[in-house]
Chains A and B, each alone.
Chain A
Amino acid sequence: MSTSLTSRRAFLGGSLLFVGGMALSACGKGDAVKAGAKVTLEQWYHAYGEAGTQQAVIRYAKEYTKANPDVAIKVNWIAGDYSAKLHSTLLTPQAPDLFEIGDFQYVDVKNGLLAPLDDIVKGQEAEYSKASLESATADGKLHGLKMMDDAMVLYYRKSVLEKAAVAPPQTFAELAAAAMKLTSREQKGLFVGSDGIGNAAYLLLWSNGGDLLDPEGRKVVFNSPEGVAAISGLKQLHDGKSLLLDFTTDWYDPGAFIQGAAAMQWCGLWAMPAIKKALGDDFGVLAWPKFGDSGRAVSRIGGWFAAVNAKGEHVEEAKKFVEWLWIKQAELQKDWCVSYGFHVPSRKSVAARTTEFTSGPAKDAADILANTGKAYPNLWNTAMDSAFAQAVLKIAKSGGDAKSLLDEAAAKAQAELDKQLA
């Protein structure tokens, strides 16, 4: 009996120690908290893949505290599904004061999560691309400040195209023909994504003058005749067996292009340093070619926005920090964009001073972005994307009727849009 008592006591003691330890270790999280600061702002970043980014943002935060000793910034680096984690945390009192947003969503504004930033951006609007301002503007106010622009463009392998006597494609017909001509047993012509869809349906739609929503953002219009015709083009690519499918990584990674599994790939500017390192000068970039003569070449503009929690305790302090870092500190913005990964500074004056973008494919990509960049409207949400994507899947791979499938998806997306606007 005495042994069983001791072991029970030991178990209880052990449990208490464990719980205590957990409680203590939970207090020790976070970086760069400065003792003595009056206000501590909590800031969230998604986990950037590039080495040095985390150290960089902590350094920016420390520099701010050096200039403003009253405010300390605690940086949290969030791995995993950032958007889902951010949105669940924003519903709780543990919500961060500052955070970044990838795809801007209207519902966040509707729910009053984002503080308007118009007063700090005033007079600076011309510095930013129209597409970026539009996606962060809702209910007439700007709710996010672009930290950097990501260009998504079509990479092509110069030597492979030359060998096959194929010119860089300027229309969709040329793209489809080139993809066919460049396909062999070991190499496919084009890689748009492991699922054979990726961004291609959006690009096709835009490249034929179609769009997701009408300019007022009240009506879903991707089922327009232009949209139906262009999205059917994806089936043409699938039927030609010239698309690389089921590659080990998806389109965001340049692996397929570097390894020669595909002669052309849709990818981001972020991959350019790796491509340059592997292939030297043997590559070029293009916009997604226009679908027909009435269409226009397009590219996608991505990147992250800095946003402030409207329900936080320190909205004014947080806005001051955003203004300091993303408007006033040109050197830090440049450092952020080109010292670790490779992004176009979102402010035109900073981009103009960034020598990395003055020549070669990097300049081409920056020009393509400036001239043809499109972003998703902020009313475009997961449910609408899902309806659209399922229709595209059936059109491209199962040979479904494009018109009726897109009509059906548009009706579903319209219902979703109406609910958002209600």
Chain B
Amino acid sequence: MADTVTARQATATRPAGVRPGRRGRRTDWKAVGAFTLLTAPMVVGLGLFKYTAIGWSFLLSFSEARGTVDLGSWVGFDNYAFLLEDEAFRSSMTGIVLFTIFIVPVTFGMSLGLAVLLHGVRRGRAFFRTGFLLPAAVSYVVAALVWKMSLFNGLPSGVANTIGGLFGWDVQSWIAGTDPPLYWIVIITLRLWLQVGLYMILFLAGLQAIPVHLYEAASLDGASRRAQFRHITLPMLRNTSVAILMLILIAAFQAFDEFYNVFMTTTGNATAPVRPPLVFLYDTALKGQDYGVGSAGAFMLTLLIVLVTLLQGRLVGFGRKD
């Protein structure tokens, strides 16, 4: 698309002396050539490395493929049936749905709340904005290790245990303990810290695009701050909100890094109390070399994401004209 725009701009900025009609009718071979040259690597690359791979993986999902990606030993829907019967995969799928139901509103609410607060700040806005956005630039792996090794380690000297000690709490094992499942605190704080800043910036951009005169008029009419938020801010942010909601939703389903790294042991993730689908599939396909079952699981997860996204689109009206 960017290239079409460039081509159009080139036409638009043609010097006034040239008659546009004559060249407009003839095919501009130079532009076509440039377009082809510039887009070809992208298109070929996508086709070769993405779509071929996806298609191949789809075929693999109907094959018995252990330690090989060769097709040939077709097993029909066996891999799908195996996963549907597998308690570990089922709990992984239901787990991710529950996790999504919880994490999406929380991430959304916190980002919006922070953006509104920041929008109202008169001084030091740039400082806070940068401060909140900074975690978005931190690697998930690094952050997960900081959370695991420094903040939530099981030693009395760990940060969380030190703070707990001030309130007289016992030393807790935050990640290995499953009763109560304190590991959710570790996972959720980590995820929010990493993600909220970015969505906050998007909301902030949306807020700044709302014309000030709407608020001025509302103030003159005597609308309270709360009414202004409900009747001006929220409706004017609708498009931003819908887009962000979709991003958070997909990011939730794709959860991998924080789960993988927080629960990682010497031998991998086998003893993790929760394994989201991507961790499960990584273990199956890349660790276990079972590409058939791994591919089948990937398509089932894709189907779930598509369904939920469509459902969400229905509910909040993504792409609906105002």
Contact = CB atoms under 8 A, between A and B. Distances in A.
A84 to B, nearest CB: 4
B13 A107 contact: no
Interface in A381-421: 381-383, 385-390, 392-393, 397-398, 408, 412, 419-420
B152 A383 contact: no
Given A111-B68, A185-B156, A390 B173 contact: no
Q: Output the residue of B69, B156, B267 with the most chain A CB within 10 A.
A: B267
Contact of A248 (B6, B14, B149): B149
A330 B20 CA distance: 83
Nearest to B269: A386
Given A1-B10, A383-B284, A385-B267, A248 B178 contact: no
A197 B271 contact: yes
A37 B27 CA distance: 56
Contacts of B38: 12
Given A107-B289, A185-B156, A245-B176, A87 B67 contact: yes
B223 interface: no
B175 A246 contact: yes
Contacts of A284: none
Interface residues of A, number: 51
Contacts, number: 124
Contacts of A249: 149
13 contacts: A1-B10, A91-B68, A91-B69, A108-B67, A198-B266, A244-B154, A382-B284, A385-B270, A386-B88, A386-B288, A388-B270, A397-B273, A420-B66
B125 interface: no
Contacts of B284: 382-383
A247 interface: yes
A245 B183 CA distance: 13
Contacts of A194: 154, 175-176, 265
A196 B176 contact: yes
B286 A113 contact: no
Interface of B: 6, 9-10, 13-15, 34, 37-38, 64, 66-69, 86-88, 148-150, 152-156, 158, 171, 173-179, 263, 265-268, 270-271, 273, 283-284, 286-290
A371 interface: no
A78 to B, nearest CB: 14
Nearest to B88: A390
Nearest to A201: B271
A250 B267 CA distance: 10
B67 A393 contact: no
A393 B267 CA distance: 14
Given A246-B174, A398-B179, A111 B67 contact: yes
Q: Which 10 interchain pairs have the tightest Cβ spacing?
A: A246-B154, A382-B288, A389-B270, A245-B173, A245-B176, A248-B149, A84-B286, A107-B67, A397-B178, A246-B173
A420 B288 CA distance: 12
Contact of A198 (B86, B148, B265): B265
Given A194-B175, A386-B270, A1 B288 contact: no
A1 B14 contact: yes
Given A246-B173, A393-B273, 8 more contacts: A84-B287, A196-B173, A245-B177, A247-B153, A247-B155, A248-B148, A385-B270, A398-B178
A88 interface: yes
